[in-house]
Amino acid sequence: MPGAGRRAPRGLGLLLAALLALGAGGGAAYYGYNSPFPPPQEIRVPPQGAAGDMFALAFGARRLFADMWFVRLMQYYGTEEFAGDEESEADPGHKHDEHCRHGANFGTGKYPGFLPMARHILEIDPGFVSAGLYGAGSLAFNMGRTAEAEELLAYGLRYSPKEWKYLKVLAAIGYSKAEDPAAVAGQIQPLLKEPDCPVMLKQLAAFLNKKIGNYAAAAVIYADIALTSRDEAYVLNARRELARLARRTVR
């Protein structure tokens, strides 16, 4: 054939070996890997996030985009939970209705996008336990939306079935429905020393301990918050509560 070099030193053997190796790699990957992530049709993208999700998958950066969604969730929810006196905070045993003024900066019916955003974080990264606990805790104990909290935890458990912290919070929600603050505090207690325990759950545990008269335990938790949290609002509140507890002890 004119124009072709007469020598093709290794010919088709190399190409066949390459295809074989490619197939071997594909086979090893096919049989050796099961995706731990939710399938694509489960990902319900909030309107403002479709492009970001595509990047998350395209660059293998699920955790990073889950982090970004978590920051968005916190910004959406705000950090004004403690603008008022702590005594007016949501009580796990208190039933909210449309006239309720407890928790002046939040309440039932506000933050309608909270559950979709919180669930979306777990759809992107099912291993983001802290976000799951934060979302469920906020829904159940701040906003009184226990059904949504349970739905979120159930979704989290589907992809992290051995995650005991979700089970503990589910149990705590159950006790909150039964208006048993001591049991709620007891269920949350084992989570407090875990590195992925959200500070809002610590805050709740401290409040409940204080409510049932367990001031020493409350003080320990507030001290931990003051020492470890980077959220100024929680830290300031913890210090305020520690001062109050100290005054109570003196009396």
Partner 1 sequence: MKNWLPLTWAVAANSFGESVRHRFFTLFSVFAFTAIYASVLAGVMAVDEEARVLADLGLALMELTTLAYVLFQASSSLLKEAETKTIYLVFSRPVPRWIYLAGKMGGVMLTAAFMLAVMSCMHLALLYFRGFALPAAYGWALAGSFCKLAVITAFAFFVSLFSTSSVSTLVISGILWTLGHFVSETRFMAEHAYGIKAVLLKAVIWLIPNLQLFNARDAAGAAAAIAPAAFLAGAAWILAAYLASLWLLARKEF
Partner 2 sequence: MTSRAVTFSKVEKTYKRPRLLGAAYHTAVQDLSFDIPAGEITGLLGLNGAGKTTIMKLITGLLFPTAGSLKVFGLPPSGQPAKAKVGFLPELPYFPPQVKPGAALAYYGRLSGLSGKDLSLAVAAALERTGLEPHAHKRVAEFSKGMLQRLGLAQALLHRPDLLVLDEPVSGLDPLAIHDIRKLLAGLNAEGRTIFLSSHSISEVEKLCGRVLIMVRGRLAKTVSRAEWEAAPGGLEAIFVEAVK
Can you tell me which of 1, 6, 8, 101 binds partner 1, judged by CB under 8 A? 8
Select 162 or 251, whichever has its Cβ closest to partner 1: 162
Can you tell me which of 49, 103, 107, 127 binds partner 1, judged by CB under 8 A? 127
Instruction: List the x/- string, 153-182, binding to partner 1 by CB under 8 A.
Output: ------------------------------
Total residues at interface with partner 2 (CB under 8 A): 7
Select 48 or 79, whichever has its Cβ closest to partner 1: 79
Kindly report the three-state secondary structure assignment for every residue of the chain.
CCCCCCCCCCHHHHHHHHHHHHHHHHHHHHHHCCCCCCCHHHCCCCHHHHHHHHHHHHCCCHHHHHHHHHHHHHHHHCCCCCCCCHHHCCCCCCCCCCCCCCCCCCCCCCCCCHHHHHHHHHHHCCCCHHHHHHHHHHHHHHCCCHHHHHHHHHHHHHHCCCCHHHHHHHHHHHHHHCCCHHHHHHHHHHHCCCCCCCHHHHHHHHHHHHHCCCHHHHHHHHHHHHHHCCCHHHHHHHHHHHHHHHHHHHC
Is residue 2 a contact residue for partner 2 (CB under 8 A)? yes
> What is the maximal distance between C-alpha atoms in the chain?
105
Site for partner 1 in 194-213 (CB under 8 A): 198-199
- 2 contacts which partner out of partner 2, partner 1, none, CB within 5 to 8 A by kind? partner 2
Candidate segments 2-10, 94-102, 166-174, 209-217, binder of partner 2 by CB under 8 A: 2-10
**Does residue 70 contact residue 118 with C-beta atoms inside 8 Å?**
no
Give min distance, CB of 141 to partner 1, in A. Answer: 17
Give min distance, CB of 6 to partner 2, in A. Answer: 6
- 6 contacts which partner out of partner 1, partner 2, none, CB within 5 to 8 A by kind? partner 2
Interface residue list for partner 1 (CB under 8 A):
5, 8-10, 14-15, 17-33, 35-37, 39-40, 57-64, 67-68, 70-71, 74-75, 79, 125, 127-131, 198-199, 229-231
